[in-house]
Amino acid sequence: MTAILTAIGILGALGLIFGLVLAIASKVFYVETDPRLDLLNECLPGANCGGCGYAGCGGYAEAVLKGEAPIGKCASGGNDCAMKMAEIMGVKAEKVERRVAMVRCSGYKTTDAEGNIVGGKLKGEYEGISDCLAASKVAGRGPTACKFGCLGFGNCVKACQYGAISIKDGVAVVDEEKCIGCLACAAACPRQLIVPVSPAQNVVIACASLAKGAATTRSCTVGCIGCGKCKKTCQHDAIILEKNLARIDYTKCVNCGDCAKVCPKGLIKDSNVEHLPEVTAEA
Amino acid sequence: MEYMQVVIGILISAILSENFILVKFYGICPFMGVSKKTDTAIGMGMAVTFVMAIASAACWFVDAKILQPLNLGYMQTVAFILVIASIVQFVEMFLKKFVPALYQALGIFLPLITTNCAVLGVALVNVQKGYDFLQSVINGAAGGLGFTLAIVLFASIRERVDKTDCPECFKGFPIALISAGLMALAFMGFSGLKIF
């Protein structure tokens, strides 16, 4: 009987002592956290997409609290989120611009009615790991004839939390309705093919080939050959021709779309971003 | 001199031939759960090493100074759980206040360790083998290093396995379990290492 009692007594005492020590420690070691941090965390969507450039929503909230980051960097939370955050921090919110991602490659691997290849050609069969980065590292830089175009193994698809990107005929396509512009896909693309567009910067040249015109034509029927028609047409001097590829200088581009009309390959595309509704945080 | 030999023996056997995860199969749940990325695996390994060393020390005291004199050896398991849980809580609070950098690195892993059986296991093994205070602490730290070694190796294997084209039915967890089994098989090879 005494054995049981000692056991109960000793363990009870141990528990009591530890409990007391912890209770005291929680008072002594109490670290004051800013109550605004929890509030900020609450109004962020919690998707941890990383589009703001911080490690998850918590990281962004802390940066905002310290004043290191501006409000309105959260693309997935959108305006609602920015307004709420601004209220908490007691500043005025800037409007969050609607952005969507666009893929700078048009080399869809398709054939026309007669069986001729239209779009990007393949130079071989790749049977390795189904991953863009792995495929781009093999000798010859992947299975696509074009060394710059989309590989189509879908690293961007895997990176997208919103199901907004898919592979169609071997090239990634963004569903602009679903895209919230976090650019997680851009970070996942080993060929840096994905760029953001906003209503003010809406025109994109959907090719990234730096090869010479003849080489580009050999590997893809819709590659930019650097002919310069767009440059000549542009009245605002906004097109730069560099390394056999036309590029848009967004500081000068006025979104007129004249270049798109003259491109012999039909490569210059604009997104539908200006007609899309503002992003709103999910309830 | 003989003491040094024993200490080195403990060190090597705890890391390799009696690896807590791959030979004794303690602490499997963080091993499977926190091994998707090498970075987090390293963090977890460090946290476990830290806690195992401290828990060994504290449990040795509780056992040798309180339980044994009162003939309460049979209450070891209960008492050790109590000690470990409190210590982890205490360490977490202490780090948050005084070493925020370390708290940032280990913070999220500490609560996960509270009920880790590798930590409880090391305390019980120390008693079973009759280690003294220093030996217990060394066994704890080395056990933690063995844990780190296993989980970091396993995380890097899993990172590569994730990229491979493995059959649909094995994707994800099943292939991870098979890899873990193969690793355990490989570590069994160290059991030939009879030092002392």
Name the token pair of B168: 């649909």
Find the distance separating the first CA and the last CA of chain B, reported in whole Å. Answer: 14
Best CA proximity match to A68, nearest among A95, A97, A89 = A89
Cβ contacts of B90 on chain A, cutoff 8 Å: 21-22, 25
pTM: 0.55
CATH of A35-89, one of 3.30.930.10, 1.10.620.20, 3.40.50.970, 1.10.15.40: 1.10.15.40
Please state the three-class secondary structure of chain B as a single string: CHHHHHHHHHHHHHHHHCCCCCCCCCCHHHHHHCCCCHHHHHHHHHHHHHHHHHHHHHHHHHHHHHHCCCCCHHHHHHHHHHHHHHHHHHHHHHHHHHCHHHHHHHCCCHHHHCCCHHHHHHHHHHHHCCCCHHHHHHHHHHHHHHHHHHHHHHHHHHHHHHHCCCCHHHCCHHHHHHHHHHHHHHHHHHHHCCCC
Q: Using DSSP, state whether A84 is helix, strand or coil.
A: helix
Chain B residue whose CA is closest to A32 = B97
CB contact under 8 A, A31 and B97: yes
Instruction: Give the pLDDT mean for A57-70.
Output: 79
Nearest-angstrom CA–CA distance, A228 and A203: 16
Q: Which residues of B touch A3 (CB under 8 A)?
A: 71
Strand partners for A268: A205
The answer, yes or no, to whether ipTM is higher than 0.90 is no
Phi and psi, residue A111, nearest 5°: -125, 150
Return the DSSP state at A169.
T
pLDDT digits (tens, 9 = 90+) for B114-129: 768 888 899 999 999 8
The pLDDT score that the predictor gives to residue B106 is 67
pLDDT (mean) for A78-96? 74
Cα–Cα distance between B54 and B107 in angstroms, integer? 16
Domain residue extents for chain A: 35-89, 100-275
Q: Do A29 and B97 touch (CB under 8 A)?
A: yes
Which helix (H) or strand (E) segment is A65 a member of? helix A56-65
Distance between CA atoms of B109 and B114, rounded to whole angstroms? 9
Q: Which of B82, B89, B165 sits opposite A14 (nearest CB)?
A: B82
The answer to whether B191 touches B23, Cβ cutoff 8 Å, is: yes
Percent of chain A whose pLDDT exceeds 90: 4
Mean pLDDT, chain B, whole residue set: 86
Question: Cβ separation of A14 and B79 shorter than 8 Å?
Answer: yes
Measured between CB atoms, which of A3, A7, A29 is closest to B96? A29
Which CATH number, 3.40.50.2030, 3.90.550.10, 3.30.70.20, 3.40.50.2000, labels domain A100-275?
Answer: 3.30.70.20
Q: Do domains A35-89 and A100-275 have the same CATH topology?
A: no
Cβ atoms A151, A132 nearer than 8 A: yes
Taking 70 as the threshold, does the pLDDT of residue A94 lie above it?
no
Res B133: pLDDT: 92
**Does B83 sit within 8 Å of A131, measured CB to CB?**
no
Residue in chain A lying closest to B163 (CA): A129
